[in-house]
Amino acid sequence: MTPDELRHTFEQLARGPAAATRTPRHLYLWHGDVSALERLVPPALLQRLDLYALAARLPRTPYAVDQARRLLRAEIERQLRDQAARALRQVLVVNDCSLLARYGVPLQPFYSFVTDSRAVVMAVSRAESELVPPVALPDFVRLAPKTTFDALSRAVGERSVVQE
């Protein structure tokens, strides 16, 4: 999907319910600058969800990966329920998606949130996925900057990936 096709989808959503025709559902992965994505969204529809800020509000600090996954998923589900009550039509831009990949949080809550009036766009910046450290890292450090993008692109499907 191209940025222009995504913008057209958002314009359709601004006018009223719009079935997802180019993709299975209105769940997309944006690979690029988040501010460029937000400029595509009609201002009346734009909503944001920062997953790092959401994680900071968790009721307790998880001590294991599976506990972190459960706590993050529960908080995401709660946030999405609240978000759904705010406006009938919206485009939710989700930032800091590395937490989803890091802890294996499934996208099912986001798929449940999207309708013919609501879309979700997971944003992964190129700065994150193409990171090259300025100095050599020690041998025991493994850097895999594309992990988040690769995991989310597999989860949403190639037709739902938008490259800026």
CA distances from 45 to 12, 33, 62, 84 (A): 11, 19, 34, 12
Predicted confidence at residue 128, as pLDDT, reads: 76
Confidence (pTM): 0.90
Predicted confidence at residue 112, as pLDDT, reads: 94
Position 83: which residue type? Answer: Q
- The predicted model gives 141-147 an average pLDDT of 73
User: How remote is the C-alpha of 17 from its chain's centroid?
Assistant: 21
Handedness of CA 55, 61, 63, 64 (dihedral sign): negative
Task: Give me the domains of the chain, ranges plus CATH numbers.
Answer: 3-163 (3.40.50)
Predicted confidence (pLDDT) per residue in 13-72, tens digit: 999 998 888 788 999 999 999 999 999 999 999 999 999 999 999 888 888 999 999 999
**Strand 161-163 to strand 118-124: parallel, antiparallel, or no bridges (unpaired)?**
unpaired
